[in-house]
Amino acid sequence: MGFEHATRASKGARSYQEDAVAIRQEPAGGGAGGRLADSLIAVLADGMGGHTGGAIASSTACEAFVSAYAAAPGDAASRLEEALLEANLAIAGSVADNPALNGMGCTLVGTVFGPSGLQWVSVGDSPLFLVRGGRIAQLNADHSLAPEIDKLAAAGKMSWEDARADPRRHYLRSAVTGAEIEMIDRSPAAVALNNGDIVILASDGIQTLSQESILDVVLRYAGEGPEAVARALLASVGAVGEPHQDNATVVVVGKGD
C-alpha cells in the first residue's frame, strides 16, 4: 500500500507531556485468525487530569486501543468501535485501581490505513486532517465548544473577534474518561487515498497554526516525506512563540506508490 509515517512531539511551554501515540504495522496477509491485516494502525490521545493523570490516561488509552484493534474480529469499522470501547474500559480500570486518578481522561483519534483507504473513530478535539491536491480538510468532528461558539458568531449573537478569543473554546463536550462517552465521531465510509495524499493526526496544540499555515508547511515539505513534514510542523508551532503553548504532537502518514 506504500504508507509511510512519522511522529513528532513537543511539550510546548509546559514542563510535562500529556500527549501519547501508538502505532502498529501489520503485513498484508497477517493478522489474527489469518485474515487480511490492515497496513497501519495509528492512534493519538491528548490527556487531561493534571500532570500525572493526563499522561496515564493518554498512554493507557493508546496502548489498549492498538492491542484491542489487533485482536478484534470483524471489519475495520467494528474493530475501531471495539478498540475505543477497550480504551475506555482501560481508563476505568486504572481509576478503579487508583482512585487518586479519578477525573483523568483524554481525547482520542484512532485511524486505520488499509486496502480500502482510511477509516477512523474519534472523541474530543484532536483533529484529523487530509491534505490533497493543494487543499486541506479536517475529516473528523470537533467535540470542543469551539464549533458552538462559532455558530453564535455566525448568527450575529457575538462578534467573531470575541468568539475567537473566548476561553471556553477548548472546553470538551466529550472525552474518554472511563464513563459513558457522550459523543463519538466515526468515518461514514473508508476514504480512498491517492498517491501523494498526506494525513495528519494531531493534538490540539497544533491549532496554534491556522489550517492555511498547516497546509503551507505540508506543501513545502511533502516531497521530503512524512518525517520532514512532522519536523517542520512542530518547528512552525514553536516559531509562533505562544507563551502558553500546549503540548503539540503529530502523526504524519503519507500515501506513496
Residues 6+ apart with CB under 8 A from 56: 47, 94, 101, 104
Measured CA distances, 43 to 18, 62, 102, 227, 249 (Å): 14, 6, 23, 17, 11
Cell of 50: 493534571
Measured CA distances, 6 to 57, 93, 223 (Å): 22, 31, 14
pLDDT digits (tens, 9 = 90+) for 118-163: 999 999 999 999 999 999 999 999 999 999 999 999 999 999 999 9
Cell of 3: 504508507
Mean pLDDT of 191-219: 96
The single residue listed with the C-alpha cell 520532514 is: 228
User: Beta-carbon neighbour count of residue 5 at 10 Å?
Assistant: 20
Cell of 192: 480512498
pLDDT higher than 50, residue 190: yes
> Which DSSP symbol is given to 191?
B
Mean pLDDT of 8-18: 95
pLDDT at 50: 73
Measured CA distances, 62 to 111, 133, 147, 152 (Å): 11, 31, 26, 34
> What does the domain layout of the chain look like in residue ranges?
3-138+174-252
Residues 6+ apart with CB under 8 A from 116: 76, 190, 192
- Cα 86 to Cα 72: distance, rounded to the nearest angstrom: 10
Cell of 106: 483524554
For 3-138+174-252, CATH number?
3.60.40.10
- Cα 200 to Cα 145: distance, rounded to the nearest angstrom: 22
pLDDT digits (tens, 9 = 90+) for 36-65: 445 799 999 999 977 679 999 999 999 999
pLDDT higher than 70, residue 75: yes
Query: Are 200 and 128 in contact, with CB atoms under 8 Å apart?
Result: yes
pLDDT higher than 60, residue 34: no
Residues 6+ apart with CB under 8 A from 103: 49, 53, 177
Angle, helix 50-71 to helix 76-97, in steps of 10 degrees: 140
Confidence category of residue 28, pLDDT binned at 50, 70, 90? low
pLDDT higher than 90, residue 32: no
Mean pLDDT of 72-98: 96
Residues 6+ apart with CB under 8 A from 96: none
Tell me the Cα Rg of the chain. Answer: 18
pLDDT higher than 60, residue 29: no
- Residues facing residue 99 across a β-bridge: none
